[in-house]
């Protein structure tokens, strides 16, 4: 992974953010910074071909972006209230998450921190191009349903950290639709290449086009685009469908015009993470 060097506009952005020092903990606390963040999210969504009626956040890193998607999936797909009752609520079943053996280590942390346990992860084998084997994925989901478990999330990767492999996103999206699973894409490394599709470039793998079908996507606008957008602090974005599929993590109402960030992230107060930089 090659990261960009510091950019003058990024330095100015961070100087401004540090001087004003807004707390991105909610629209009421920092309305201007919040609106800048919301607009930045819409621009990023537009660039990568994601529906612009999504919600999203700028966060401190790839792990954090993926954690938000992971939690949103649990909220949306568990058939009982995990937030209130924990993993053993009434009618609870063993939650199952599916991902390839090439996935970044953040998924171990997520399964650990959010109480599922690492053994809840089904490691799906990869083909010779190190992409998730979708036949194996489907077979494993089917097997788990028959065993009484609750398959709820597929984590696919657009640009694996080791080799840059892109999972077959359109095929995985179709399987998620068929079994009603949340479809998360970790595009922290390669997701921004989807912007080339919007430019009509033929060199982009067909597999990336499925990014627009994801329920949540983690992207890194700086390393992914190789643009000199940042000063030194990485900032990533999590994009989430919130109109077609509501994915509120905390019980606070989120409106797209007046975003209330604590309702869709794990943080309460947040710094701006270069939100002024783009």
Ligand X SMILES: Cc1ncc(COP(=O)(O)O)c(C=O)c1O
The b/e string for 14-30 (b: 16+ C-beta within 10 A; e otherwise) is beebeeeebebbbbeeb
- Our CB check for ligand X shows the closer of 61 and 205 to be 61
For residue 6, give the DSSP letter: -
In the bound state with ligand X, the residue whose beta carbon lies nearer, of 144 and 220, is 220
On whether the CB atoms of residues 109 and 164 are closer than 8 A, the answer is no
Q: For ligand X, which residue has the nearest CB? A: 62
- In the complex, what is the shortest distance from the CB of residue 164 to ligand X, in angstroms, rounded to a whole number? 9
Least distance from C-beta 189 to ligand X, angstroms? 4
Bridge-based pairing state of the strands 150-157 and 182-187: parallel
Q: In this complex, which beta carbon is closest to ligand X, that of residue 138 or of residue 184?
A: 184
Least Å distance, CB 157 to ligand X, is: 6
Find tokens 């399987």 and name the residue: 175
Closest contact distance (angstroms) between CB of 17 and ligand X is 19
- Kindly tell me which of 144 and 186 has the beta carbon lying closer to ligand X: 186
Q: In terms of CB distance, is 61 or 89 closer to ligand X?
A: 61
Give CA separation, 228 vs 5, 10, 232, in Å.
Answer: 6, 8, 10
Nearest CA-CA partner of 193 in 184, 181, 182, 203: 203
Q: Which residues bind ligand X (CB under 6 A)?
A: 1, 61-63, 104, 106, 157, 159, 161, 186, 188-189, 234
Distant-in-sequence contacts of 196-202, Cβ < 8 A, 24+ apart: 197/49, 198/46, 198/47, 198/48, 198/49
Q: How far is the CB of 270 from ligand X (least distance, A)?
A: 15
From the list 27, 45, 49, 73, the residue with the least C-alpha distance to 182 is: 73
């Amino acid at each position: 992974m090659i990261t960009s060097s510091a950019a003058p506009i990024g330095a100015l952005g961070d100087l401004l953010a540090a001087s004003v020092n807004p707390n991105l903990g909610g629209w009421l606390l920092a309305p201007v910074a919040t609106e800048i963040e919301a607009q930045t999210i819409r621009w990023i969504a537009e660039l990568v071909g994601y529906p612009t009626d999504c919600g999203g956040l700028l966060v401190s890193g790839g792990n954090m972006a993926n954690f938000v998607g992971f939690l949103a999936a649990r909220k949306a797909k568990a058939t009982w209230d995990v937030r209130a009752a924990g993993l053993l609520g009434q009618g609870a079943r063993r939650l199952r998450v599916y991902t390839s053996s090439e996935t970044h280590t953040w998924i171990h942390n997520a399964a650990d921190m959010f109480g599922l346990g690492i053994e809840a992860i089904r490691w799906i084998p990869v083909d010779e191009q190190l992409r998730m084997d979708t036949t194996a994925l489907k077979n494993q989901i089917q097997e788990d349903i028959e065993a009484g478990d609750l398959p709820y999330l597929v984590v696919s990767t657009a640009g694996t950290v080791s080799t840059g492999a892109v999972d077959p996103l359109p095929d995985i999206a179709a399987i998620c639709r068929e079994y009603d699973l949340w479809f998360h894409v970790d595009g922290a490394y390669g997701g921004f290449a989807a912007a080339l599709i919007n430019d009509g470039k033929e060199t982009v793998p067909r597999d990336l086009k499925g990014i627009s079908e994801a329920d949540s996507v983690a992207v890194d606008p700086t390393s992914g685009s190789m643009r000199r957008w940042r000063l030194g602090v990485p900032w990533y974005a999590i994009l989430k469908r919130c109109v077609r599929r509501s994915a509120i993590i905390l019980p606070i109402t989120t409106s797209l015009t007046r975003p209330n960030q604590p309702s869709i992230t794990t943080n309460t107060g947040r710094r701006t993470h270069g939100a002024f930089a783009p």
